[in-house]
């Protein structure tokens, strides 16, 4: 069975990913590890999860990824650097990464803490509408 690591720290991210959790469970393809920030806990209270802070160190993210050894990383909106620290490690280790962007503003800020060039990102990005799609495409100059 493959392992999925889900990380989010914001109510919008928690809402989006909590819908995905049920769908992933139905497939039976993934063992899931869920890390939720304080503001997102309301969406995962019926699941087994661990708490995560908005701001974490690279070494903390590395420790979690090493322990879980995920086949896929799924992140959503966060208020600090946590989600990006995980994506930075996923980038270096060639772990598949999916980013789900809920309705928000300033999507460029999602990659503020990236340690890789945005134009070379490997993340698959799921967006809510064409306005977000256009803003994301402008970040990578397509």
Rounded CA gap, 48 and 124, in Å? 26
Q: Which of 42-51, 74-83, 115-124 has the lowest mean pLDDT?
A: 115-124
pLDDT digits (tens, 9 = 90+) for 52-62: 999 999 999 99
pLDDT digits (tens, 9 = 90+) for 9-50: 888 888 888 888 888 889 999 999 999 988 888 888 899 999
The whole-number pLDDT of residue 2 equals 94
The third-level CATH classification (topology) of the domain covering 2-139 is: Rossmann fold (3.40.50)
Residues of the chain with pLDDT > 90: what percent? Answer: 41
Q: What predicted TM-score, i.e. pTM, was given to this entire model?
A: 0.85
- The secondary structure of residue 140, as a DSSP letter, is T
Per-residue tokens: 29: 């393809």
Asked if 116 and 91 count as a contact pair (C-beta separation under 8 A), the reply is yes
Q: With the CA atoms of 118, 106, 51 and 121 taken in that order, what torsion angle do they form, in degrees rounded to the nearest 10?
A: -10
Positive or negative: CA dihedral 133, 124, 75, 21: positive
Query: In 10 A of CB 71, how many CB atoms?
Result: 15
Q: CA nearest 99: which of 140, 51, 53, 58?
A: 140
């Amino acid at each position: 069975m493959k392992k999925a690591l889900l990380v989010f720290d914001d109510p919008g991210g928690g809402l989006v990913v909590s819908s995905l959790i049920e769908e992933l469970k139905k497939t039976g393809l993934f063992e899931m590890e869920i890390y939720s920030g304080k503001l997102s806990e309301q969406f995962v209270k019926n699941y087994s999860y661990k708490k995560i802070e908005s701001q974490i160190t690279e070494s903390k993210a590395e420790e979690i990824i090493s322990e879980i050894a995920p086949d896929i990383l799924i992140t959503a909106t966060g208020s600090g650097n946590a989600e990006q620290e995980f994506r930075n490690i996923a980038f270096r280790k060639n772990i598949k990464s999916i980013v789900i962007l809920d309705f928000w503003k300033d999507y460029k800020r999602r990659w503020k803490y990236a340690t890789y060039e945005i134009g070379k990102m490997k993340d698959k990005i799921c967006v809510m509408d064409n306005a977000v799609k256009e803003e994301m495409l402008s970040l990578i100059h397509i």
